[in-house]
Chain A
Amino acid sequence: MASQKPLLSRAVKLAAAYALALVATAFFAFPVFWMAGSSVKSELDISQYPPVWSFTPTFENYAKLASELDAFDAFVNSAVIVGLATTLAMVCGTMAAYALARFDVKGKEIIAFEVLSIRMLPPIVSVIPMFIIARALGIFDTYWLLAAAYGLAGLPFVVWVMRVFIQDIPQSIEEAAMIDGCSRFQTFWRVTLPLLLPGLAATMVIVFMFAWNEFLLASMLTSQNAKTLPVIAANAIKPKAIAWGLASAAGVVMSLPVVVLVLMMQRYLVRGLTLGAVKG
């Protein structure tokens, strides 16, 4: 008898916890669900009010996205630009972070602060000068321009976050490796890097998402050849009306790579987002 009551109350608590989790999930998932739903509705179904819940799915929005808005080219542009930018930011940023975390660099606090200062400038302020410089250099509307811009924008974030992850790895582990026969580089490659994977994954996802969704620079610094997905998605908003179905389809296409990336990185992300994962 005595043991049943706590058991019961524990069951109630558990049920409540699940219910709450469900509500929270629904709250955040609903817009996504709605977007995915709208993307497969016909133009007629989408304009219904109150909304219809049962309809015949159609892929006409996706077809339009490809034909009218050149979504395929934009997708390739986005992938190349963001891929380049993320790689650039991750490689350079991690190496800089390693130096700032581990070496006796003179004035490294100042360097770290200076790196961050790029981010203190609001993008809207720098976009006009960037436009002029890009024109002068002849790189306006190319992959290189946006890749460099996104890479540079991601760099400070990578430096600051990765520095903390690196500092979190006990120095004696690296020293043990050097005594065990590794050079500095081997130590980094064989010992430090594997321990950094969770941090790298978490950081990469964030840098990637920022660049993938960036609109302001992309719309100002491209015209034909290097248009990215956010730019063409914005084209779904026509002067007269918003093409909801088209916009939703664009949203789905844009979200997919992020979802895939997060799923791929999930194993590391959970640990990476909680700092200090390598202790113990």
Chain B
Amino acid sequence: MGIEIKNIYKRFGSLTVVNGVSVDIADGEFFVMLGPSGCGKTTTLRMVAGLETASEGQIFINGRDMTHAEPRHRDIAMAFQDYGLYPNMTVFQNIEFPLKIRKLAPAERRRKVEETAGRLGISDYLGRKPAQMSGGQRQRVSLARALVRNPKVFLMDEPLSNLDAKLRAVMRTEIKKLVTDLGITTIYVTHDQIEAMSMADRIAVMRKGDMVQVAPPLQVYDRPATCFVADFIGSPPMNLFKAELANNGRVVCQVQGFGDALDDAERERARAMADRHGHFAVGIRPEHLQCVAAGTPGSVEGIVELVEPLGQTTNIYLLSGDTKYVVVTDRTSLRAGDTIGVIAPGDKVRAVGLDR
């Protein structure tokens, strides 16, 4: 059940846009595909929708092979970035359209449209044309149109990216609640890590047509599989230090003190993920580094380059040797030019694989 993607490829001429993606999405799961622009998220989603045919591989929806089925036979709904509303129809007619195509009786259609519109808070606008509505309202209409026929699967392609930040935050929670309450299997595409972190049951981080890591949000945050994931998630992103497994089993690190902080379990991981030259990276989240007095035993000496107070937290940009990194702390009296000690707690230091 749910959605099963089996080793799909998409090529446009000689350009491979989706490069052998496989993933199982459980019934009722909220699955987010996250990645920078151009990494193949939309293309993958469109193959699930049937708007694009896979060059290779298979797609199963609720257990049935839908690889070559027309979109209308897949029992899916979709929300588009530009909403895709029918401009010549009223809001009511827009929401009613899928029911009309399915030849439901008019009374039944009216009841369902009104119920769905109520759920999305657009009951007052049913007589308007899309052009007379704001972006947020239009997106609600497009969600209503998608949900009115109780689809099994809901696909969303950056539905909030045309809205302002505040509205985005509101809609985010609303969408999540809506589809969770209805128990709809959802694939949600976004390039916004906050949306991904806050909404997803699982995140798939994509890069150049590959799913680099598929895991629950906190796991992606705590244990990024590659430097790309580590750098893409978190703000400011994870500090990454070049590291290498020496022949004697020691770890040689760009900032040796941080390399030394790796615990045994992470060293074991490092051995598994390092490339054939033994290269990998040591990753530490900025909020896990601790600032202490210079010269404290076990600390790395760092010079403060810049202090960036953000109110709730403060970013301190540091320089150790010729390596730059960031520490996030509470408010601080440190100033540029100060020399301090930095401690990396052993249980927070991660071995991170390099990107292929």
Query: Which residues of the other chain, A, contact B85 by a CB distance below 8 angstroms?
Result: 173, 176
Report yes or no: A180 in contact with B98, Cβ–Cβ below 8 A.
Answer: yes
Most buried by A among B70, B78, B84, B85: B84
Q: Does B49 lie within 8 Å of A179, measured CB to CB?
A: yes
Residue from A170, A172, A180, A279 having most chain B Cβ neighbours under 10 A: A180
Interface string of B258-297 (1 = CB under 8 A from A): 0000000000000000000000000000000000000000
Q: How far is the CA of A37 from the CA of B49 in the complex (A)?
A: 65
Is A170 within 8 A of B101, CB to CB?
no
Establish whether residues B51 and A176, one from each chain, have CB atoms under 8 Å apart when the complex forms.
no
B76 interface residue, CB < 8 Å from A? yes
A60-91 contact mask (Cβ, 8 Å, vs B): 1 or 0: 00000000000000000000000000000000
Name the residue on B nearest A191 (C-beta): B86
- Is B77 in contact with A179, judged by CB distance below 8 angstroms? yes
- Would A173 and B131 count as touching, CB distance under 8 A? no
Tell me how far the C-beta of B182 lies from the nearest C-beta in chain A, rounded to whole angstroms: 17
B102 is an interface residue with CB less than 8 A from chain A:
yes
A183 to B83, CA, bound (A): 20
* Cβ distance A3 to chain B, nearest Cβ, rounded Å: 33
Q: How long is the Cα–Cα vector from A179 to B69 in the complex, in angstroms?
A: 12
Residues of chain B lying within 8 A (CB to CB) of residue A190: 101
Interface residues of A in 172-206 (CB under 8 A from B): 172-173, 175-183, 186, 190-191, 194-195
The residue of chain A having its C-beta at the shortest distance from the C-beta of B76 within the complex is A179
Q: Which of A172, A173, A180 contacts B101 (CB 8 A)?
A: A180
Overall SS of chain A's interface: helix
User: Is the C-beta of A278 less than 8 angstroms from some C-beta in chain B?
Assistant: yes
- Inside 8 A of A175's CB, which chain B residues have their CB? 49, 51, 71, 78, 80, 84
**Size range of the chain B interface in the assembly:** 20 to 34
CB pair B72–A178 under 8 Å, yes or no, is yes
- A195 contacts B70, C-beta separation under 8 Å: no
B97 within 8 A of A: yes
List residues 113-146 of chain A with CB under 8 A from any CB of chain B.
Answer: none
Asked whether A181 lies within 8 Å of B72 as measured between CB atoms, the reply is yes
Closest Cβ–Cβ distance, residue A237 to chain B (whole Å): 49
Chain B nearest Cβ from A195, distance in angstroms: 6
Asked whether, in the complex, the Cβ of B98 is within 8 Å of the Cβ of A181, the reply is yes
Q: Which residues of the other chain, B, contact A239 by a CB distance below 8 angstroms?
A: none
A173 engages B78 (CB within 8 Å)? no
Tell me the minimal C-beta distance from A182 to chain B in angstroms: 6
Min Cβ gap B285→A in Å is: 38
Instruction: For B78, list chain A residues within 8 Å (CB).
Output: 175-176, 179
Does B248 reach chain A (CB closer than 8 Å)?
no
Could you tell me if A178 and B51 are in contact, using CB atoms closer than 8 angstroms?
yes
Least CB separation from B77: chain A residue: A179
Q: Which residues of B contact A178 (CB under 8 A)?
A: 50-51, 70-72
Indicate with 1 or 0, residue by residue over B56-91, a CB within 8 angstroms of chain A CB atoms: 000000000000001110001110111111111000
Q: Does A280 contact B (CB under 8 A)?
A: yes
Asked if residues B70 and A280 are in contact (CB atoms below 8 Å), the reply is no
Interface residues of A in 206-242 (CB under 8 A from B): none
Least distance between A190 CB and chain B CB atoms (Å)? 8
| C-alpha gap A183/B71 in the complex (Å) | 9
**Additional A-B contacts beyond A172-B81, A180-B98 (11; CB < 8 A):** A173-B84, A175-B49, A176-B78, A176-B142, A178-B51, A179-B72, A179-B77, A180-B72, A182-B72, A194-B88, A279-B87
Interface pairs (16), CB distance under 8 Å: A170-B82, A172-B81, A173-B85, A175-B71, A177-B86, A178-B50, A178-B70, A178-B72, A179-B71, A179-B72, A180-B97, A181-B98, A182-B72, A183-B70, A186-B101, A278-B87
